[in-house]
Amino acid sequence: MAKIVGIMTTSHVPALGRAIHLNLQQDPYWKPFFDGFPPIHEWLERVKPDIVVSCYNDHGLNFFLDKQPTFAIGTAPELISTDEGWGIPSMPSFPGAEDLAWHIRDSLIRDDFDMLTCQEMLVDHAFTLPMALMWPDQKWPVKSVPVCVNTVLFPLPSARRCFKMGEAIGRAIASFPEDAKVLVVGSGGLSHQLEGERAGFINKEFDLKFMDSMVNDPQWATQFSDLDLVEKTGNEGVELLNWLVARGTVAGPVKVVHSSFHIPISNTAAATMLLEPV
């Protein structure tokens, strides 16, 4: 039986791609963020997950506004990193966990989540950077299932809906008949805003409350609408929806293996958490 062994949530600031490429991990500006990862590397070495289910948002690589799905899942055999126009070096392709991806896809649709199914898929920095942060040599020891949430075009799926989709993904993983250790990733956030007269907005108090809620009150943020989240966390802070999908996959309590928080990385309150089901 497949089993969720952990939830790893992290910011995916595009500038991290450049910092990784230039080996700036020990540079004083970047160090506080990258220092969050050695404990996660130790955990990965010990637990050795087989499959990553990554909940993230595409920024105009696989999807454009001609067809913008609210939720999508990648069942492709190969998930391809390529030029996304932001100047981020591309990475080696990621093998898809096809059997689990199709199983989750079938299960979600039967569970009333109308997924768009991608048998070919490009993955951008929101998918690739968490992988490169976990496995810096970029030799992926896992297969992956990308689950993509629309954070581009408002209205966004509600926080409540995202959490419920996470619950449905958790049920799908639990009913997958093959043995597999699954790590769920939630990519993005926390508070940041790139556009408008309020560009540079960061809300440390909200972020710390949200991180606490991931452990102690997982549905706390589901009370907020998409526009509430913009007001409280900035236009791009809404990426915490991916954290909520990820957190929803584990029904019971979790314990913190590692947690770090640093302001700023680029325009972002950068946060990383590794949680384990209790």
Partner 1 sequence: MTRPQKRTIPGAPIFDSDAARRGYALNKMCYSFNSKANRDEFVSDEVAYCKKFGLDEAQIKAITTRDVLGLISVGGGVYFLGKLAGGVLGLDMQDIGALQTGVTKEEFKAKLVAAGH
Sign of CA dihedral 253, 160, 126, 176: positive
In the complex, minimum distance from the CB of residue 65 to partner 1, in angstroms, rounded to a whole number: 6
**Cβ atoms of 243 and 189 closer than 8 Å:** yes
Nearest approach, Cβ of 69 to partner 1 (angstroms)?
14
Nearer to partner 1, 5 or 61 (CB): 61
Nearer to partner 1, 57 or 249 (CB): 57
Q: What angle do CA 27, 17, 240 make, to 5 degrees?
A: 105
As a whole number of angstroms, the distance between CA 136 and CA 157 comes to: 32
In the bound state with partner 1, the residue whose beta carbon lies nearer, of 43 and 201, is 201
Best CA proximity match to 247, nearest among 72, 51, 1, 9: 9
- Annotate 20-32 with b (16+ C-beta within 10 A) or e (fewer): beeebbeeeebee
Residue 208: what are its φ and ψ, rounded to 5°? -65, -35
Residue number with CB closer to partner 1 (24 or 263): 263
CA 18, 24, 30, 34 dihedral sign is: positive
In whole angstroms, the minimum distance from the beta carbon of 94 to partner 1 comes to: 18
- Catalytic status, residue 103: no
In a 3-state reduction of DSSP, which class is residue 223? helix
Q: How far is the CB of 127 from partner 1 (least distance, A)?
A: 14
Question: Of the listed 59, 192, 258, 262, which one is catalytic?
Answer: 192
Q: Considering the complex, what minimum distance in angstroms separates the CB of residue 128 from partner 1?
A: 14
> Does the annotation mark 192 as catalytic?
yes
| Whole-number Å distance between alpha carbons of 175 and 72 | 20
Which residues bind to partner 1, rule: CB under 8 A? 14-15, 59-61, 64-66, 82-87, 152-155, 193-202, 204, 227, 230-231, 234-236, 262-264, 266-267, 269
Which tokens hold the place of 30? 């970047």
Stretch (H or E) spanning 259:
strand 254-265
Return the biggest CA–CA distance within the chain: 51
Q: Which is nearer to partner 1, 106 or 231 (CB)?
A: 231
Residues serving a catalytic function are 125, 192
